[in-house]
Structure 1
Amino acid sequence: MSFKIAIIGAGSVGFTKKLFTDLLCVPEFRDVEVALTDISQHNLEMIKAILDRIVEANGFPVKVTATTERRRALEGAKYIISCVRVGGLEAYADDIRIPLKYGIDQCVGDTICAGGILYGQRNIPVILDFCKDIREVAAPGAKFLNYANPMAMNTWAAIEYGKVDTVGLCHGVQHGAEQIAEVLGAKSVSELDYICSGINHQTWFVDLKLNGRKIGKDELIAAFEAHPVFSQQEKLRIDVLKRFGVYSTESNGHLSEYLPWYRKRPDEIARWIDMSDWIHGETGGYLRHSTETRNWFETEFPQFLEQASKPVDPAKRSNEHASHILEALETGRVYRGHFNVKNNGVIANLPQDAIIESPGFVDRFGINMVSGITIPEACAATCMASINVQRMSVHAAVSGDIDLLKLAVLHDPLVGAVSTPEEVWQMVDEMLVAQARWLPQYAHAVPAAKDRLSRSTVKTRDWAGAARRNVRSIEELRAEKAALKKAV
């Protein structure tokens, strides 16, 4: 088969390498063209060198191109994959730093909460530019696969305003299933059957079977509490499981910031998180992890290049959806996964316009969702709170309506549990001014925001958060990796 796949934000080096290697695990895809595009020429050069080394080492005829001219990369593309981070780590640091001044302690801050909402404001105008290019220069009927967060907001904007055939993709469901299989003593996740439904990062395992035997709430709770690692790392998720009756897909740290109950007071945060890894609730954990990963890659690039010389092993193909979806669409080999699409009746007790995450099957006819699912009422109520925030955030991002943006932030569950309306109004002004270069739709509102900030009487504080760690140096990372290798 010969067609073109474009990857926008290809400078996300590790993830792009994974997607590319997955594609090469499909025998029919070894003659495709993969067009890389990014705003960073430096990052493009690094990832192209790695992919070229993979192609050379395996003798595949696949063609790899790289350009900072996005439309050129999209010309004639049948599939477009986005993994962009608009504003990079600089803007992301403000997503964490500024809300902390108002008492809002986030672990990740890329989905909802104050950071995720502003992240969406930066991303959505760019996503709509992508969609315009796709409509104008990509292959007719091109499919847009969005991996970029905030997943629901970006996908919502691409479908409702971008008018492009879009599906949002995430790996939270797969990771949650792997945990459940492990605590239940399964030899492989393939022994586990499950239906997982909700919205991205708040998807719920509403039905579970292990080798055909139904797994109930009590058995699952007991299995998690008996696990020597997860019982400590996933305390919040286990508490939600006990109260809601179903397990959530998202990590302990991520889930903690979507709810109004666990991070509302600094002294409470320590009860529910675990500091063994960033993902379990550390303040600004993903920002630290992303910074360390980027620094490590820049320093250890020769090592990554050397690793790219290894043969591609189809047995090590990842569980990321993209290659499996393309394989099903192109070959007809059916793939079952969990996808982010417009609801339209898929989940009966969530709004029709919402972007939901739920099971579907892919074949030559496209992505075919399983409709008519009803999720537990408590799960629906929690999802609804986020959906309302997402809807306002998307509409604000498209219109540049600062009042609607502030209302979206005000209605966020964690923000509302921590901050007063006056604090929210000032915080949004401060974030808007700090990130103005990435928020062109709010250019008209920035002067007034600056003026309000100069006259504000709302008090803030210099706070690093309840569970902050410093970014580790390359030397510290090397020592840690050496110690782990020695222990194994």
Structure 2
Amino acid sequence: MPKIAFVGAGSAVFTQNLVGDILSLPELRDDTTFALMDIDPERLRTAEIVTERLIDAHGSKARVEATTDRRGALDGADYVVTSFQVGGYRPSTVTDFDIPKRYGLRQTIADTLGIGGIMRALRTIPVLLDVCRDLEELSPDALLLNYVNPMAMLCWAAGEASSIRTVGLCHSVQGTTAELARDLGIAAEEIDQLAAGINHMAFFLRFEHEGADLYPALRELDPPELNRVRYEVLKHFGYFVTESSEHFAEYTPWFIKEGRADLIDRFNVPLDEYPRRCERQIGEWQALRDELEGGGELATEQSHEYGAHIIRACETGEPYAFNGNVPNRWEEGLLIDNLPADCCVEVPCVASAQGVEPQPVGALPRQLAALMQTNVNVQGLTVEAALTGRREAIYQAAMLDPHTAAELSLDEIASLVDDLLEAHGERIPSPMLTR
């Protein structure tokens, strides 16, 4: 009878997808308790209604509890799903985009790396660690399924500072597998792939169909309009990255440059994409509320998220393979030999009654490891700043960020960091605000 706690359940569309996935599995349908927690009572009530309606739609005997008390939701939890956004779209995300623009620094998503990813991590790591501390006291054997970005930095911090079993979950690998399968005219379930690296910068080391390498066919394709960045990286680095072009464009120094509209046009880079998505998601949430109040039907088809299948595997013992974000140092060795021992990597994993077991992949091609290291540098310094309060590490993280460093001088980067820390104020813990 698992208890699954959702911290940030007010992300109602995501909650709807994952609850629906869980209820679609016969082994979990009737004996599960959903403990929904959010700091926003209005959003929490919407998530509660969504969950109740899904339970009814599946003919389930599952139970639902809703609370604004995080400790109450976590007490006795077997699994914890995190899906919160500290500071919200307004003011925090808007701040992360607007202030860098004054310096001529443009971004697309700003939730994983870059100056926006750094600031989001500084706001979010302390909250995730508060969740972990509650779990250490209340539910020390719980499995934490983290869906919050910046994924690598958050899971790195949790691995350093908490004993709670944590795995970070993303939909990059399965989403890109399906996308490339469509490009090639092949059923996604027929693809045999191996992906590894770091979150949002894992690469397909193997991509095959019926024993045949699909890379030659990929190289022959005309790059789809929305995917020019990734096909360009394939051309120069030899492998296909698992995260989208709009994300990847801001993890490197090559695609977004002030005064270079030719690059933006050539690679179809969607500047300010995340604010547009946030506005759209706010509209979707309002539409969901209106639909619920009007008695509309909820969709019950499965999503492509891993979470429900991991929980089923842990409960039944039937193994489930997926890609997860975990510490590179695992038991007696490294999961990826040529990345730092303390970083967070995204590798194949197997969930079963024994929990989550990552699978070692050996050494990556040297050019891929080198590309990832530029991002790991930023991640590690940001985690250090969050765990120690060392303000200098924030400047150093920003100065080593590939995109930021390609646009701004050292003095400009320091000034930008100061402006952002001041603007975020109390949303970032006080030690990092001290000059």
- TM-score, normalising length from structure 1? 0.85
Q: Secondary structure at 1:248's aligned position in 2?
A: coil
Query: Structure 2 CA distance, aligned partners of 1:127 and 1:252?
Result: 28
Q: Tell me by how many angstroms 1:191 deviates.
A: 0.7
Pairs within 5 Å for 1:332-351: 332-344=317-329, 345-351=334-340
- Unaligned ranges ≥5, structure 1: 275-280, 449-488
Cα 1:430/1:172, change in 2 over 3 Å: same
Cα deviation code 1:263-299 (max 9, x no counterpart): 123424423443xxxxxx3222112111222134225
Q: Secondary structure at 2:109's aligned position in 1?
A: coil
Shifted more, 24-33 versus 125-134: the winner is 24-33
Q: CA RMSD in A?
A: 1.6
Cα 1:160/1:52, change in 2 over 3 Å: same
Query: Structure 2 CA distance, aligned partners of 1:29 and 1:299?
Result: 29
Supply the AA of the counterpart residue of 2:28.
Answer: F
Query: Structure 1 CA distance, aligned partners of 2:299 and 2:125?
Result: 38
Aligned equivalent of 1:453: none
Aligned equivalent of 1:11: 10
Aligned residues between the structures: 428
Is residue 338–residue 364 contact of structure 2 (8 Å, CA) maintained in 1?
yes
Supply the AA of the counterpart residue of 1:334.
Answer: P
Supply the AA of the counterpart residue of 1:384.
Answer: Q
Query: Structure 2 CA distance, aligned partners of 1:310 and 1:264?
Result: 43
Aligned equivalent of 1:39: 39
Cα 1:73/1:113, change in 2 over 3 Å: same
Query: Structure 2 CA distance, aligned partners of 1:395 and 1:305?
Result: 46
Q: Tell me by how many angstroms 1:308 deviates.
A: 6.6
Pairs within 5 Å for 1:288-367: 288-299=276-287, 301-304=289-292, 309-310=297-298, 312=300, 316-344=301-329, 345-367=334-356
Q: Tell me by how many angstroms 1:300 deviates.
A: 5.1
Cα deviation code 1:84-118 (max 9, x no counterpart): 11000020111111111112111000001000000
Pairs within 5 Å for 1:102-181: 102-138=103-139, 140-181=140-181
Query: Structure 2 CA distance, aligned partners of 1:370 and 1:56?
Result: 39
Q: Tell me by how many angstroms 1:215 deviates.
A: 2.2
Cα 1:273/1:64, change in 2 over 3 Å: farther
> What is the aligned counterpart of 2:397 among 400, 403, 408?
408
Aligned equivalent of 2:202: 203
Shifted more, 116-125 versus 52-61: the winner is 52-61
Is residue 253–residue 273 contact of structure 1 (8 Å, CA) maintained in 2?
no
Is residue 114–residue 401 contact of structure 2 (8 Å, CA) maintained in 1?
yes
Cα deviation code 1:426-462 (max 9, x no counterpart): 10110001101211234652xx5xxxxxxxxxxxxxx
Query: Structure 1 CA distance, aligned partners of 2:382 and 2:263?
Result: 27
Supply the AA of the counterpart residue of 2:276.
Answer: R
Cα deviation code 1:163-187 (max 9, x no counterpart): 211000000111110122112211x
Query: Structure 1 CA distance, aligned partners of 2:200 and 2:272?
Result: 17
Query: Structure 1 CA distance, aligned partners of 2:296 and 2:78?
Result: 26
Q: Tell me by how many angstroms 1:142 deviates.
A: 0.9
Aligned equivalent of 1:25: 24
Is residue 21–residue 317 contact of structure 1 (8 Å, CA) maintained in 2?
yes
Query: Structure 1 CA distance, aligned partners of 2:120 and 2:171?
Result: 20
> What is the aligned counterpart of 1:221 among 215, 219, 222?
219
Pairs within 5 Å for 1:353-392: 353-392=342-381
Query: Structure 1 CA distance, aligned partners of 2:288 and 2:144?
Result: 32
Shifted more, 396-405 versus 427-436: the winner is 396-405
- Unaligned ranges ≥5, structure 2: none
Structure (1 or 2) with the larger CA radius of gyration = 1
Supply the AA of the counterpart residue of 2:401.
Answer: D
Is residue 346–residue 372 contact of structure 1 (8 Å, CA) maintained in 2?
yes
Cα 1:444/1:88, change in 2 over 3 Å: closer
Q: Secondary structure at 2:348's aligned position in 1?
A: strand
Cα 1:419/1:361, change in 2 over 3 Å: same
> What is the aligned counterpart of 2:264 among 256, 270, 293?
270
Q: Secondary structure at 2:335's aligned position in 1?
A: coil
Query: Structure 2 CA distance, aligned partners of 1:86 and 1:206?
Result: 35
Is residue 24–residue 58 contact of structure 2 (8 Å, CA) maintained in 1?
no
Is residue 105–residue 258 contact of structure 2 (8 Å, CA) maintained in 1?
no
Percent identical among aligned pairs is: 35
Q: Secondary structure at 2:55's aligned position in 1?
A: helix
Is residue 78–residue 143 contact of structure 2 (8 Å, CA) maintained in 1?
yes
Supply the AA of the counterpart residue of 2:214.
Answer: I
Aligned equivalent of 1:461: none
Aligned equivalent of 2:72: 72
Q: Tell me by how many angstroms 1:32 deviates.
A: 0.7
Q: Tell me by how many angstroms 1:52 deviates.
A: 1.1
Cα 1:17/1:299, change in 2 over 3 Å: closer
Q: Tell me by how many angstroms 1:304 deviates.
A: 4.8
Is residue 255–residue 264 contact of structure 2 (8 Å, CA) maintained in 1?
no
Aligned equivalent of 2:426: 437
